[in-house]
Amino acid sequence: MNRLNVAIIFSIAMGVGSLYADFAPENIGLKALEIESQIENSEVAKPVLARFVREIKEEIQTLKNFPKPGTRHYARAVLELINDYLIRHNFVYGEHRGFYAIFESRKLSPADIDNLKSKDIEKMTFTNVADEPFFHKALGIGRKGKLHALVHSDELFHFASCHTLSLVYLSVAEELSLNLLPVYAPGHIFVRWVPPVDERNQLYLNWEITSGRTMPDSDYIRDLGIKTEAVKTGVYLTAQPMKSVLSDVYASVGCELGTRKNWAKAISNLEKAEKINPDSWIAYGFFGDTYLAMGQPEKAISFYNLALKKNPDLDWVYLERGRAYLEANKPEVAIADLRRAADIKPLDPKPAGLLAKAYLKSNNCKQASFWIKKAIKAESDKESLKEFRALEKLIGS
């Protein structure tokens, strides 16, 4: 029996159909699942999400001496309750897939458990190493979450990224009329409670959803290396309207449809993402990826330019724009982008491998040899390694 069938039986057994009937149809979580239905059956996830929201609301209503709504204390109490609920229901911070996927479950692998044991508790980390085990990618894990996972390691767990976890928080907040908004940081998203207009004497409250705790802006700036200019311009650490999350969902679905070569639907979803949020560097970057995959490097470059205009610190966009310049037979221009991507992620073999190609096209065999050696040293994927060794042979011939 596959996980989807298990989820259906679980949903029926819990009687979530009746709960779903009372769930607000315009809830952001349901909207996200509806968008994702283009790439995966999300019908099972909808009633499960509704059950989660209903149970969290009921817990709040039954608690005595719960803080007054509209206050900072109330916001923190709600956020702590959501975090505790997710821990009890075996949610862990892990791989990034669609929102629908966090309602599926699997057991922790031995590698997952080993990585969890070695993970620093409540410590933000930022790494340049590509393709690490998921717990090493974590920006932190709370003490409760870590201990719960280790004690219950033989049970089934739900794996969620910061993006999908934020949708759970925002879905609950919307049902409670709690003014919770998404906030972006490099490669990350968290949520922020903003006080009501008539209570702006109160300070806003950042909630780090990966570790279940409050965190000041200064910690994000320090630990994620956020530039002052990016904060001043509102690229990072500024509360965004709720619609920006739906724009990201459309963009992600568009990107996935692009990998399936469903070009028309991919472009349609990316256009919707752009319409909802014209400042979305994510949508522009994925536009570039899609047109590059379609064999239109010049059009891809124009969208990568837009993405970097909105956010000049996107290492992956420099990498892909460099790839596009290579395909457009402009190796000299590609080198500048690829060198910048390599500077940002010195241990990533991708920019090194592309730099070797760019220098070879520019007839600079010395630099091409230097970069292909770096790529081979850093690469662990067998197929990529085979490709790099073939390039090394070509450079030496």
The C-alpha atoms of residue 204 and residue 325 are separated, in whole angstroms, by: 44
pLDDT digits (tens, 9 = 90+) for 338-379: 999 999 888 899 999 999 999 999 999 999 999 999 999 999
* Of residues 36, 48, 165, the one with CA closest to residue 96: 165
Classify strands 188-193 and 180-185 as parallel, antiparallel or unpaired: antiparallel
Q: Coil, strand, or helix at residue 235?
A: coil
Mean pLDDT value of segment 3-9 = 40
Task: Report the length, in residues, of the chain.
Answer: 397
**DSSP for 254-270, written as a single string:** HHHHHHTT-HHHHHHHH
Q: Coil, strand, or helix at residue 100?
A: helix
* Of residues 351, 350, 331, the one with CA closest to residue 339: 351
The C-alpha atoms of residue 271 and residue 291 are separated, in whole angstroms, by: 13
pLDDT digits (tens, 9 = 90+) for 92-134: 887 778 999 988 888 988 888 887 777 554 444 444 333 333 3
- Taken in order 57, 61, 67, 69, the sign of the CA dihedral is positive
pLDDT digits (tens, 9 = 90+) for 32-59: 999 999 999 988 899 989 998 999 989 9
Instruction: Give the CA radius of gyration of the chain.
Output: 22
Q: What is the pLDDT of residue 345?
A: 86
Percent of the chain with pLDDT over 90: 62
Does 88 have pLDDT greater than 80? yes
- CA of residue 308 relative to chain centroid, distance: 18
Question: Which span out of 6-10, 97-101, 248-252 was modeled with the highest average pLDDT?
Answer: 248-252
Say how many C-beta atoms besides its own lie within 10 A of residue 63's C-beta.
11
Q: 83, 168 in Cβ contact below 8 A?
A: no
Structural domains of the chain in order of their starting residue, each with its CATH number: 1-240 (no CATH), 242-313 (1.25.40.10), 329-397 (1.25.40.10)
Does 10 have pLDDT greater than 80? no
> Is residue 38 exposed (0-12), middle (13-18) or buried (19+ Cβ within 10 Å)?
middle
Q: 86, 102 in Cβ contact below 8 A?
A: no
Q: At 232, which helix (H) or strand (E)?
A: helix 228-232
The C-alpha atoms of residue 184 and residue 241 are separated, in whole angstroms, by: 11
- CA of residue 40 relative to chain centroid, distance: 18
